[in-house]
């Protein structure tokens, strides 16, 4: 599936602007990780872009979230490894994340929330002044961006990345689409 078609599919099911921005942010980070790790950038980008395609339908039922999305993506003809990564990103299902794409999506999902929260507490409300030391300090504050699960972000180690390296890759990727994110 081409990105343009995937974006149209996503916009058919997701209408909340902030959720769309979240999906774009996860896509950008997944693409950057794929480049860094020598993986398929298009495939990883699609997994990131479409990972929450079912969220507006399943937000009140975490036991359905990502399974419904996986079914939607299967019907749309996406490759099985993309479908699996989308299903496995929701830890409620206990699906093993044995491949790099699944591991990356799992760690990236909350990372984008941490980065957005860090930008929003700055007076400028922009990504530009945010740097890795600032993110590391915010990461250590348990009360900051509580929804950004630290143990999930720390799973970047399963990709052979240090936390600092993961934060740098994610931040740079999101700065690259700051205009689309409104940050």
Helices 41-50 and 100-120: crossing angle in degrees, nearest 10, is: 60
> Does the 3-181 domain belong in CATH 1.10.287?
no
Say what the pTM is. 0.97
- Comparing 142 with 22, the larger pLDDT belongs to 22
Written as one string, the DSSP assignment of 105-166 is HHHHHHHHHHHHHHHHTSTT-SSTT--HHHHHHHHH-TTTTTTS-HHHHGGGGGGT--HHHH
The pLDDT score that the predictor gives to residue 58 is 97
pLDDT of residue 37: 98
Span 115-164, pLDDT tens digits = 999 999 999 999 999 999 999 999 999 999 999 999 999 999 999 999 99
């Amino acid at each position: 599936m081409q990105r343009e078609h995937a974006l149209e599919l996503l916009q058919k099911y997701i209408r909340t602007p902030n959720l769309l921005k979240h999906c774009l942010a996860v896509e950008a980070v997944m693409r950057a990780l794929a480049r860094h790790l020598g993986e398929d950038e298009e495939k990883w980008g699609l997994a990131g872009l479409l990972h929450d395609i079912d969220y507006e339908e399943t937000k009140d039922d975490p036991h359905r979230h990502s399974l419904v999305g996986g079914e939607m993506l299967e019907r749309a003809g996406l490759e099985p490894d993309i479908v699996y990564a989308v299903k496995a990103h929701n830890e409620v299902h206990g699906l093993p994340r044995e491949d790099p794409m699944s591991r990356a999506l799992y760690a990236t999902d909350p990372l984008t929330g941490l980065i957005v929260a860090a930008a929003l507490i700055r007076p400028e409300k922009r990504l530009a002044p945010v740097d890795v030391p600032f993110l590391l300090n915010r990461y250590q504050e348990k009360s900051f961006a509580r929804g950004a699960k630290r143990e999930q972000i720390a799973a970047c180690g399963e990709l052979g990345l240090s936390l600092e390296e993961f934060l740098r890759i994610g931040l740079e990727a999101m700065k690259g689409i700051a205009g689309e994110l409104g940050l």
